[in-house]
Every structure is written in structure tokens, then in C-alpha cells.
Structure 1
Amino acid sequence: MSLTPVQQSKTYELVIDRIKQAILDGSFPPGSRLPSVKSLSDTLGVGQAAVREAISALRVLNLVDVRQGDGTFVAQLDTRSIAQSIARREAMAQADVHALLELRMWIETGACRYAAERRLDSHLVEMSDIIDRMDRDLGNAQLGEEADWAFHYAIAKASHNPYMQTLMETVSERIQGALLASRLALYRIPGEDERLVQQHKAIYDAIKQRDSTSAMKAMQDHLLHVSSQLRGGEVI
């Protein structure tokens, strides 16, 4: 197997899958050294941060050994150990989803408040364009997930708080990686894509009206709904 570029940038879960498959199918045999972070970044078409994140995860899975100053090497494969590590990682990923949703609740309700108070017309145009994309892409889970994140990031920009925007940028890769599969699953629930679009429209309308209280409430309702659906609960 030859490594092929990952189509989405900043998706470390997909980078993990590419490298893991290359290891398991023998392209990188036990004891061999992986290409450098820069080389993997160029080959896979992702940022170096995504590659580092993936290597850290592969290390947890006992698939690679990272030797300071010497490089990253494929570990000797122990099937039972790998299976146990993968099971642990899947449990951690599920915990990550809910922890990250709690973090988003804290960050994004505050971002909505300040966006409602400080937004410019240009921010409204950006948000409206994204919602139009959501409407056009109903039924396309991948595009819906991408537009969803773009909308939330646009709110952070509209808050005019550079630290809030930086915080969103810092956690974006972790959030996207942990939530990608779950978010795509959400869009496969009948009618869910339309419900999510309506929730984003409610957030947008409150920000447009400069109603910070309603904007915070709309964001809170949206994130609680997402959390409930991911847990298999009823719509809030």
C-alpha cells in the first residue's frame, strides 16, 4: 500500500487510519522508521500538527515507538496488546466527545453573547452565507459537518475577542477529530440535518437582533440537543 493524500485538512483521525493501515498491511514493517513529520505532512496533505497528534495516538495504541532525537519507529506487533489499546482508545474517544461538548458549551455561549453585542454587518453576511450552504447541502453529511464548524467559528470571530478566537483555533483540531464520526452520525438521523439548520438559524436571528440573552439560550439549546442525540436521548 502507498500512502495517499488525506482530502480533509486538520483531521487527525483520518491520518491515524492512513498510517495505521500502512503499518498493519506491512508497508511499514516492525522496526522500520516512519518518514519525518514534515514528509508525512506533505504526503498526506495535512498540517504537521495533525501528524503529530496522530503519532501521539499511535503511540498510545502501541503501534509506534517515539525515540527522542532518533525518530518514530514501528513497534513489534502484539495483536492482543493492540486490540486492548484500540478498545481503550475508543472508550477515551467517547469520553472526549462529551468533555469537548462541555467545553464548547462554556466557550460558545459566551461567544454568542459578545457576537450579538459586537457583530458587524460583514459577520452577518458570512453567517448567512454559511446557513445558505447548509440549506443547499441538506442530506450531505460531510458538507453539513464542515459548514456547521464554519458557522460556529464565524461566531467566535464576530465576538471581537481575539483570545476567544485563538482558543477556538487551538481546540478546533481536537474537536473536529473527536466529533467527526459522531457529527456525521447525527446527520444520518432522519430529519436531523433540517433540525440542526433551524437551530443555527435561531442562533443567527438572535445575533442579528443583537439579543445576547436569546443568542446564548439558542446556542445552549443547540449544544444540549447535540449532546442528547449523541447519547441516544430524545430531542431537547
Structure 2
Amino acid sequence: MALEPDTSSANIAQALGSLPTGSPVSEVARRLLDHFTTGDVAPGTRLPSERQLAASLAVGRSAVREALAALELLGIVDVRPGSGTYLRGAASELLPQTLRWGLLIGEKNTEELLELRSGLEIYVARLAATRASDALRVRLTTHLERMRTAGDDLAAFAKADFDFHRDLTGAAGNATLHDLLHVVRSLLQVYADRAVHSREAADIALAEHDAIAAAIEARDADRAASAMAVHMVTANARLASLVDQVD
């Protein structure tokens, strides 16, 4: 028989355990997220007080307060003044988004993000090759034409490039993959918008997108994945170079 989710604030606090001394707010939020997604806490459960959480995690109350504020902004908990803090969703609702939240509240490593993006984009291309609808294939062609006619308007080229990858991800038919890639792209967007900084770079990117689209049109998953892998090598190199310049 399945165990009932825990609704005891004292038991929740006890289950969390202490964190290493001086842990940042993001680690407090991560520990809370880990516990919420076990399924042991029922949606609507009133969480322990800031004082109880701080004692259980061996951190200051300010760290707990900031972590709960971040989780409220992300829609994970509901802070009700004068009443307490409550868990909003069930584990089944929280689990598909845990990776997204983890990336948002954690420290960012650009090199790791680029590696993650590369792997996800390659898998997206493989899935899209067999799952893309005829309407989607038409949209990809439209985005390619926008890239081709952008000329020296590199901002317009970048927007068409973004739209190409967005629609390709939608064609993969995997909502969790879509969400994760969206976050990774968002974290890299500050660099991505400026990555194609010359007409020559744009021409190279266009040729790579043409190859991806041709493989999608042919419904060739291996070819699509290979074409995306080639594109990711040059695209990530451009982004990495720009990150080095900014740093």
C-alpha cells in the first residue's frame, strides 16, 4: 500500500538535514526542491517556519527567507503573510520542471551550458527528422529564407536563427526537452544575440542550417543529427570566443 505524503512540519524539517556551513541561498533552495520532489510532501502542506528550517539546515534565517522567496517567484511555494508558506504542486507536477529550476537558481558555467546545449540540439534534430509535421517543415524553410535575405542586418539574421531552432525543438515532440533547451538558450542569449557578428559568419551559419533543414526534409535522423553536430561546433566556438572577450 502506498504511503501517504507527509503533512507534518516537524517531520519535513527533520527530513531535510543540515547543510555545510556557509552554504549559499541556492543550496538551501536545492535541498528544499529535492525534498519536495520525493512525493513525501503533499500539495497544500504548510511548510516549517523559517526558524525551524534554519535550525534543521544549520543556516541563517536570511538564507532560508531568500530561498523561499526565490521558490515563490518560480511558482513552487505560496507564501501567505500571517499564515505561512505552502507547497503548491504535487511531485508529479514538480518533477518535469526540476531541471529548469535547478539551472535557474544554480551557478552558471558557460562551458558546461554550451556542452549541454550541443547535446540537446543534436538530439532535437534527430527526433525532429522523424516527427516534424509538413507545416513545421514549411516554417523551417521560411526561417531559412529570412536568414538568406537578412543581408547585413545581423539582428534580423539572429532572430530568424532563433526561430529556426525554436520550431525545430517544438517538432521534437518532447515537452521536457523543450523546457530545458529553452532555459539553456535563455542563459546563453546575452551572448547568442551577438555571436554572428559578420556577414561571413552569417553565411557559414546559413549553410549549416540549410544542411539541417535538408536532412529534416529527407526524414533522415542520422543525417540531421550529424548536420546539427557540425553546426554546434562552429556555433559554440563563436559563443565561447565572445564569452572570453566579455570576461
TM-score of the superposed pair, with normalisation by structure 2:
0.51
Structure 1 distance, partners of 2:187, 2:229, is 21
- Deviation track 1:69-108 (CA, whole Å, cap 9, x = no partner) reads xx9xxxxxxxxxxxxxxxxxxxx98x51x32221111111
Matched residue type, 2:219 = R
What is the Cα deviation at residue 148 of structure 1? Answer: 1.2
CA distance in structure 1 between the aligned counterparts of 2:232 and 2:118, rounded to whole angstroms: 7
2:140 maps to 1:131: no
Say if 2:202 is the partner of 1:189. no
Q: How does 1:154-233 map to 2 (within 5 A)?
A: 154-177=167-190, 179-180=191-192, 183-184=193-194, 186-231=195-240
**Share of identical aligned residues, percent?**
26
Q: Which residue of 2 aligns with 1:140?
A: 153
Identify unmatched segments of 5+ residues in structure 2: 1-64, 70-106, 242-247
Give the partner amino acid of 1:210: R
Which AA in structure 2 matches 1:128? T
Cα distance in structure 2, aligned partners of 1:187 and 1:139: 11
Which SS does the other structure have where 2:116 is aligned? helix
Kindly provide the amino acid, as one letter, of the partner of residue 232 in structure 2: L
Give yes or no for contact 1:116–1:207 (8 Å, CA) kept in 2: yes
Matches within 5 A, 1:41-190: 96=110, 98-177=111-190, 179-180=191-192, 183-184=193-194, 186-190=195-199
Superposed CA offset, 1:158-193 (max 9, x none): 11112212222333321213x23xx52x42235111
Residues 112 and 159 of structure 1 are in contact (CA less than 8 Å); yes or no, is this contact kept in structure 2?
yes
Give the paired residue count.
Answer: 142
Aligned equivalents of 1:173, 1:229: Cα separation in 2: 17
Q: What CA distance in whole angstroms lies between the structure 2 residues aligned with 1:199 and 1:192? A: 11
Is 1:135–1:197's contact at 8 Å kept on the other side of the alignment? yes
- Specify the alignment match of 2:57 in structure 1: none
- Secondary structure of 1:191's match? helix
- Do the aligned partners of 1:138 and 1:194 also contact (CA within 8 Å) in 2? no
Q: Which amino acid aligns with 1:106?
A: G
Q: Deviations over 1:121-156 (max 9, x none)?
A: 011011111111111113222122221111111111
AA partner of residue 219 (structure 1) = M
In structure 2, how many angstroms separate the alpha carbons of the residues matched to 1:229 and 1:199?
Answer: 14
**Is contact 1:141–1:188 with CA below 8 Å preserved after alignment?**
yes
Amino acid at match of 2:205: L
The amino acid of 2:131's aligned partner reads R
Instruction: Verify the 8 A CA contact 1:116 1:208 in the aligned structure 2.
Output: yes
C-alpha contact (below 8 Å) 1:138/1:193 kept by paired residues: no
- Larger Rg computed on CA atoms: 2
Code of the residue aligned with 1:164 in structure 2: it is L
1:112/1:219 contact within 8 Å kept: yes
Q: Distance in 2 between matches of 1:226 and 1:167?
A: 19
RMSD of Structure 2 on Structure 1 (CA): 2.9
